Amino acid sequence: MKYLVAGAAGFIGSHLCERLVEQGHEVAGVDNFITGDRRNLASLEGHARFRLVEHDVIEPLQWAGRLDGIYNLASPASPKDYLEHPIETLRVGSEGTRNLLELALRHGARFLLASTSECYGDPLEHPQVETYWGNVNPVGPRSCYDESKRYAEAVTMAYHRKHGVRTNIARIFNTYGPRMKLDDGRIVPAFVDQALRKRPMTVYGDGSQTRSFCYVSDLVEGLTRLAESDERDPVNLGNPAEMTVLAFAEKIRAMAGSSSEIEYHPLPQDDPQRRKPDIAKARRLLGWQPEVGLEDGLRRTMEYFRTKLRAG
Ligand code: NAD
Ligand code: UDP
C-alpha cells in the first residue's frame, strides 16, 4: 500500500512511519518541522520505500500517482507547543485536515485522523467513553488545541457522510516513549529529565490530577488496526492504567534512583482533573489492548533520554 503520513517527523509519526515501512508499505512522510525533527526519521533515511517531503499541510498538497491511505498526525501536541503556536494549531486542525481529506477524496484513499482525549476537555464522566460529548472551555488557553481537534473530527465525519470517504478517528490518550522532545514540557520528558539530572521535579497543583499513560508501540499498533477497520465513529486508544501526577513523579524518581525534590507549581488553567480511557470499544472492534507495562515503557524511555543527555 502507498501511505502518506502527515506529521511524520514528530514523536508518534516517526514510530508510525517505521512500522508501516516494516510492514512492507511505501510511505511518504510530510512535515513542516514546526515541532518535529527530521532526525526522528534517521533510521529510514535512504530507505527505498520511504521519502520525506517538507510541506505545511495548511497548503493544498499535490500528489501524482496512487495513494491508498493517509494518516493525519500533523499538529503541535504538547501544551507548551500549542500555547506557543495557537494560530498554527487551529489552522492545521481545520485547514490542514480539510486539505488532507480533499486529497483522500481525489485519490480514493482511506483517511485516519489522530484526534485526542482533549476532545473530552476536563471530563465530568469517568472513565471517558466515546459517547461522552465532553466539557471543553471554548475560549480558554487550551481551546486552540481542543477546538481544532473537535473541528477536525467534525470535518472528517462530514467528508465521510457527504462524500463517502473511508475515515477513522482515533482519540489518543497520553502517549509516551523515545523521541519525545526533552524540552516539550509534557510530563514524561519533564519528569525524566528532572529526575536524571537530579533537579527539582515540577508537580503542578497538588499532583492529585490523574493521567493514564500508553507506550508508543502499543499506540501505533492501535492506529494501524483502526486504519484497517470499518469503524467511522471515534475510538479511544490509550492505556487505562490511571495514576496521579504525584505518584507518577515518585515512580520516575524511584526508577531513576534520583534524589530530586518534589517542587509544587501552580496548576495551569483548565488542566483536566482526571483522565482515563474506556477502551472496551477498541478491544471489541480491533482486538487491541496495550501490552507494554508502565515500568517496561518507562525503562525504555529513560534509556533514550539518558543517551540524549549524555550526547549533550
Ligand atoms: P509531535 O509534535 O511530536 O508531532 C507532530 C508533528 O506534526 C511534528 O513533526 C510537527 O512538525 C508536525 N506538524 C505540525 N503542524 C504541521 C503542519 N501544518 N504541516 C505539516 N506538519 C505539521 O506530537 P505527537 O505527540 O507525535 O502527536 C502526534 C499527533 O497525535 C498529533 O496530532 C497529536 O494531536 C496527537 N495526539 C498525541 C498525543 C500524545 O500523547 N502524544 C495524545 C493525543 C493526541
Ligand atoms: N504536569 C506536571 N508537571 C510538569 C508537566 C506536566 O505536573 O512538569 C502535569 C500537568 O499539569 C498535567 C499532567 O502532568 O496534569 C499531564 O501534562 P502533559 O502536559 O503531559 O499533558 P496533558 O495531559 O495535560 O495534555
Question: What is the domain-level CATH number for residue 221?
Answer: 3.40.50.720
Provide the residue count of the chain: 312
Query: Exposed/middle/buried for 43, CB within 10 Å: 0-12, 13-18, 19+?
Result: exposed
* 18, part of any domain: yes
Residue having the nearest C-alpha atom to atom 14 of ligand 1: 75
CB atoms within 10 A of CB 307: 10
Distance in Å, CA 176 to ligand 2 centroid: 12
Q: Which residues are annotated as catalytic?
A: 145
* 56, part of any domain: yes
Q: Is the dihedral of CA 227, 230, 233, 236 positive or negative?
A: negative
* 58, part of any domain: yes
Residue having the nearest C-alpha atom to atom 1 of ligand 2: 187
Kindly give the number of the ligand 1 atom that is closest to the alpha carbon of 181: 3
Distance in Å, CA 261 to ligand 1 centroid: 31
Closest residue by Cα to residue 193 from 205, 176, 208:
176
Kindly give the number of the ligand 2 atom that is closest to the alpha carbon of 275: 23
pLDDT tens digits, 144-195: 999 999 999 999 999 999 999 999 999 999 999 999 999 999 999 999 999 9
Q: Please count the CA atoms within 13 angstroms of the CA of 198 that sit on its side-chain side.
A: 3
The partner residues of 53 in beta bridges, in order of sequence, read 30
Q: Is 41 helix (H, G, I), strand (E, B) or coil?
A: helix
* CA distances to 24, 173, 237, 265, 271 from 240, in Å: 31, 9, 9, 26, 19
* 192, part of any domain: no
Closest residue by Cα to residue 218 from 304, 149, 286, 289:
289
* 80, part of any domain: yes
* 184, part of any domain: no
* 186, part of any domain: no
Which residues constitute the domain of residue 219? 2-175+214-240+276-291
pLDDT tens digits, 268-290: 999 999 999 999 999 999 999 99
How many domains are there within the chain? 1
* 69, part of any domain: yes
Per residue of the chain (312 residues), what is the pLDDT tens digit?
A: 999 999 999 999 999 999 999 999 999 999 999 999 999 999 999 999 999 999 999 999 999 999 999 999 999 999 999 999 999 999 999 999 999 999 999 999 999 999 999 999 999 999 999 999 999 999 999 999 999 999 999 999 999 999 999 999 999 999 999 999 999 999 999 999 999 999 999 999 999 999 999 999 999 999 999 999 999 999 999 999 999 999 999 999 999 999 999 999 999 999 999 999 999 999 999 999 999 999 999 999 999 999 999 998
Distance in Å, CA 102 to ligand 2 centroid: 35
d(CA 119, CA 133): 8
